[in-house]
């Protein structure tokens, strides 16, 4: 996705309708969606290969330019004349979000598009050694049931650990994921229940999901309450430290990035939870979608270790 920010100031109300007039200040494009996950992974020292589908339009050109500027590998990208590139345009006055405009196409990939995407992605998997695979699902049509099952099967065959940040449409397709990270709303929607953010309820929800998915680690993000982690043996809530929240956009991208790398590195539950909380909390203090700051994360991790000691 392309995240576009239109910023300015408001000093009057329009004479044409009871709406504020934004005096244009600046316009900025940033990498969003799965590209933000790739940015987070790169910021932490990994070498991500982003695999997705864009349109053949001006916005896909902007995405490509931004990826090139950030040094991201683009060999997994497929352009289709049948789709538009997803663009989220946020209109902001100071730090106040006024409006978001979504230009997108959420129908599933056509057979031709899916074939081209899978062929390209499978070729990449055969040509390089990967330490982890991250599925960042936004229900925009790329991760169809066929695509998910094919790539999950390939990862299992190649013994590549899989981390998943799901959405409602294909929530139950990620069978056998090593790490499964929905947020609490997605859990409630998928289980068609109401699970409050307490340990007993979340343990029950994790157990029900594991019965269907046969997944490994379950992480449920709880916004300002932190994260819940369950490894099938035990599960508990790890609270986050208080933060001055400016913008929650992109926090889920950061959490899945950190958790996936921590899992691939073999860290334990406490370490994964601490890193996820610190990284997710860090990015919500900043306006707009931004990747994690590695130096800040290291400093906060050291501070947390000293405090614990």
Backbone angles phi, psi at 192, to 5 degrees: 50, 45
Domain extent listing, the chain: 2-308
Q: How far apart are CA 94 and CA 250, in angstroms?
A: 19
Instruction: For residue 242, give Cα distances in angstroms to 46, 117, 274, 295, 298.
Output: 28, 42, 14, 20, 18
Q: What are phi and psi of 117, to 5 degrees?
A: -65, -45
Low-confidence ranges of the chain (pLDDT < 50): none
Asked if 38 contacts 48 with a C-beta cutoff of 8 angstroms, the reply is: yes
Report the pLDDT value the prediction gives residue 281, as an integer from 0 to 100.
Answer: 75
Catalytic, out of 253, 268, 270, 293: 253
Give me the pLDDT at residue 246, please.
56
Concerning whether 230 is annotated as a catalytic residue, the answer is no
The single residue listed with the structure tokens 């196409």 is 105
Pairing of strands 77-80, 52-55: parallel
The pairs formed by 268-273 with CB atoms below 8 angstroms and a separation of 24 or more are 269/217, 269/229, 269/231, 270/238, 272/217, 272/219, 272/229, 273/226, 273/227, 273/229, 273/238
- State residue 248's pLDDT score: 60
- State the Cα–Cα distance between residues 184 and 16, nearest whole angstrom: 42
Give domain 2-308's CATH superfamily: Ribokinase (3.40.1190.20)
């Amino acid at each position: 996705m392309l995240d576009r920010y239109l910023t300015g100031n408001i000093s009057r109300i329009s004479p044409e309708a009871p709406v504020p007039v934004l005096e244009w200040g600046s316009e900025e494009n940033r990498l969003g969606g799965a590209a933000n996950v790739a940015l987070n992974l790169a910021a932490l020292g990994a070498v991500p290969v982003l695999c997705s589908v864009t349109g053949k339009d001006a916005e896909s050109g902007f995405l490509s330019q931004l990826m090139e500027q950030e040094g991201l590998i683009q060999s997994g990208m497929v352009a289709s004349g049948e789709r538009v590139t997803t663009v989220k345009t946020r209109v902001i006055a100071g730090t106040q979000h006024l409006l978001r405009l979504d230009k997108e196409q959420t129908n599933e990939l056509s057979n031709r598009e899916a074939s081209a995407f899978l062929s390209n992605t499978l070729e990449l998997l055969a040509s390089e050694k990967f330490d982890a695979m991250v599925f960042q699902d936004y229900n925009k049509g790329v991760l169809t049931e066929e695509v998910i099952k094919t790539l999950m099967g390939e990862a299992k065959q190649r013994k590549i650990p899989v981390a998943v940040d799901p959405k409602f449409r294909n929530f139950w397709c990620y069978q056998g994921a090593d790490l499964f990270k929905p947020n609490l709303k997605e859990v409630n929607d998928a289980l068609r229940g109401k699970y409050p953010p307490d340990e007993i309820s979340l343990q029950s929800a994790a157990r029900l999901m594991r019965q269907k998915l046969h997944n490994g680690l379950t992480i449920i993000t709880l916004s300002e309450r932190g994260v819940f982690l369950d490894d099938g043996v035990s599960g508990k809530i790890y609270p986050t430290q208080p933060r001055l929240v400016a913008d929650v956009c992109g926090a889920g991208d950061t959490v899945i990035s950190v958790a996936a790398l921590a899992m691939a590195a073999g860290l334990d539950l406490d370490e994964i939870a601490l890193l996820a909380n610190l990284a997710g909390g860090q990015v919500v203090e900043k306006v707009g979608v931004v990747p994690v700051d590695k130096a800040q994360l290291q400093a906060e991790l050291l501070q947390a270790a000293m405090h614990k000691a």
